[in-house]
Structure 1
Amino acid sequence: MTAQGQWYRQPTVWLGLLLLLASIAGCAWLIVAAQQYPDPELELSGGKLLKMPIDSAPAQSTPPSP
C-alpha cells in the first residue's frame, strides 16, 4: 500500500467522520435541551387511559379567516 492510498490521507474520510461526530453532538445537545425545558402540562378535562386523554380536543368556535 502506498502512502497516498492510506485511509487517513483521504479528505473524504475525514469529512465523513466530521459529519458523523457533528450529528451525534447535535443529537446529544437536543436531548439535553429537551430535559432542561420540559413541555408545559395541558389543561385537560375528562378521563385518561394510560396517561392519554380519552376525549378529543374541543373544536374552535370560529374557523380562522383567510
Structure 2
Amino acid sequence: ILQVSWFKHTKRKYGEGRRIFKMSPVHHHFQKTGYHESKIVTRFWIVGIFLAILSIVTLKLR
C-alpha cells in the first residue's frame, strides 16, 4: 500500500513515478540491494523475536 501510494504521489508531483523499494515483497528489495538470503532471514527472525517479547511485556504491564 505504501509503495503504490508513494508511486502515485510522485507521479503527480514530478510526472514520473518513483518507488520506495526496488522490488516487492520487501525481502526481494534487500536481495537486490546485495544482502544474502541467509542474512535477511536471520535479521527478520531477530526482529520477529524482539517484537514478540515486546508484545508480551506490554501485555504484562496492563
- TM-score grouping bracket, smaller chain normalisation: 0.3 to 0.5
- Structure with greater proportional strand content: 1
Q: Which protein shows a greater Rg? A: 1
When normalised by structure 2's length, the TM-score is 0.44
- Structure with greater proportional helix content: 2
Structure with bigger RCO (C-alpha 8 Å, 6+ apart): 2
When normalised by structure 1's length, the TM-score is 0.41
